């Protein structure tokens, strides 16, 4: 994993642990997506490029799984995600 775990898991309260584990998983998946897409962009072999992009798509699915679980465990995250969506909609109109 290219990124570092941003928190000391031993210091977290029990009710925070699962949410932070999910966020760490999301960070790892984003790292993987970026890595595979960057490698695909410079790969000379078309077959290798296709495989790297396919793996990146799979990592996006993994990210979605972590996000879905996080949204079930963190209602504040759900609310803030919706606020962000509304702000973008306003600015894009």
Whether residue 4 is predicted with pLDDT greater than 80 in this model: the reply is: no
Helices H / strands E in the chain, number of each:
3, 0
35: number of Cβ within 10 Å: 15
Q: What pTM, to 2 d.p., does this model score?
A: 0.83
**Which of 56, 63, 61, 59 lies closest to 36 in space, CA to CA?**
56
pLDDT tens by residue, 39-64: 999 999 999 999 999 999 999 999 99
- Asked if 19 contacts 74 with a C-beta cutoff of 8 angstroms, the reply is yes
Q: What's the CA gap between 80 and 93, in Å, rounded?
A: 20
Q: What's the CA gap between 20 and 5, in Å, rounded?
A: 10
Q: What's the CA gap between 18 and 22, in Å, rounded?
A: 6
pLDDT value at position 14? 76
Whether residue 2 is predicted with pLDDT greater than 60 in this model: the reply is: no
pLDDT tens by residue, 12-37: 777 788 898 899 899 999 999 999 99
pLDDT value at position 16? 82
pLDDT tens by residue, 80-89: 999 999 999 9
């Amino acid at each position: 994993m290219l990124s570092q775990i941003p928190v000391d898991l031993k210091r977290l309260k029990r009710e925070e642990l699962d949410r932070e584990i999910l966020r760490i998983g999301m960070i790892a998946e984003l790292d993987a997506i970026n890595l595979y897409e960057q490698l695909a962009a410079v790969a000379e072999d078309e077959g290798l490029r296709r495989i790297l992009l396919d793996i990146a798509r799979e990592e996006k699915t993994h990210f979605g799984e972590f996000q879905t679980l996080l949204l079930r465990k963190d209602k504040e995250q759900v609310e803030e995600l919706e606020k962000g969506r509304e702000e973008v909609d306003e600015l894009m109109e």
